């Protein structure tokens, strides 16, 4: 049932250059939704943190197997986030994961990296090189290779005899 409302009827004259009766509205910034953060005052914050951040040897074996499945891997080095040196050990590695391989399946690799980052919880510094390039750089004392091998790291696959 329509109520008899008093309505103001206004006729708006369209502007000269306006052909359509549609106003353009400025796009609002996308709303990111509620933001959450860890509460450092939580009763067991430190204990939980230690528990969650501990990386175990079993994880390493699984990682090694998953990397081997990507192709003919000659060398796989883990550093940074994959090393379990305790809470107080902080350093900035040139790579968290470095792989030397020829003919790696790019699709498998990118899906592997994405899933790894999802498990680990943050972006992984990743490097990939073909065998020839790596050997060239290694023999030339290339800075990246040198820093990687001189810093804390672990060779989880080593078919180059390093």
Partner 1 sequence: MANKTNTLDNLFGSKVRVKILKNAFRNYPADFNISELSRRIQEPIQVVKKEVAVLAKVGLIRIRR
Q: Binding residues for partner 1, how many (CB under 8 A)?
A: 33
Return the range that interacts with partner 1 (CB under 8 A); candidates 4-12, 14-22, 58-66, 142-150.
58-66
Region of 26-34, 65-73, 89-97, 125-133 interacting with partner 1 (CB under 8 A) = 26-34
Question: Closest separation between CB of residue 49 and partner 1, Å?
Answer: 5
Q: Are strands 126-129 and 97-102 parallel, antiparallel or unpaired?
A: parallel
Contact 154, 84 (CB under 8 A): no
- Residue 89 in contact with partner 1, rule: CB under 8 A: no
- Least distance (Å) between residue 44 CB and partner 1: 8
Q: Enumerate residues 62-81 that contact partner 1 by CB under 8 A.
A: 62, 81
Q: At what angle do helices 106-120 and 57-68 cross, to 10 degrees?
A: 160
Distance, CA of 100 to CA of 109 (rounded, Å): 13
Q: Which of residues 98-137 bind partner 1 (CB under 8 A)?
A: 114-115, 117-122
Residue 86 lies near partner 1 (rule: CB under 8 A): no
The DSSP code for 137 is H
Task: Name the region of 117 (left: φ>0; alpha: ψ -120 to 50; beta: rest).
Answer: alpha
């Amino acid at each position: 049932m329509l109520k008899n409302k008093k309505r103001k009827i206004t006729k708006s004259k369209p502007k000269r250059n306006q052909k359509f009766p549609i106003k353009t509205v400025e796009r609002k910034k996308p709303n990111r939704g509620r933001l959450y953060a860890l509460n450092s005052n939580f009763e067991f914050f430190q204990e939980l943190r230690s528990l969650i951040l501990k990386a175990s040897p079993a994880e390493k074996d699984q990682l090694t197997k998953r990397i081997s499945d990507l192709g003919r891997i000659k060398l796989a080095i883990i550093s940074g986030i994959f090393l379990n040196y305790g809470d107080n050990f902080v350093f900035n590695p040139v790579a968290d994961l470095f792989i030397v391989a020829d003919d790696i399946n790019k699709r498998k690799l990118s899906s592997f990296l994405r899933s790894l980052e999802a498990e680990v919880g943050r972006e992984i510094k990743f490097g990939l090189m073909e065998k020839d390039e790596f050997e060239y750089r290694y023999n030339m004392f290339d800075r990246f290779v040198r820093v990687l091998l001189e810093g804390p790291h672990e060779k989880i696959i080593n078919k180059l005899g390093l």
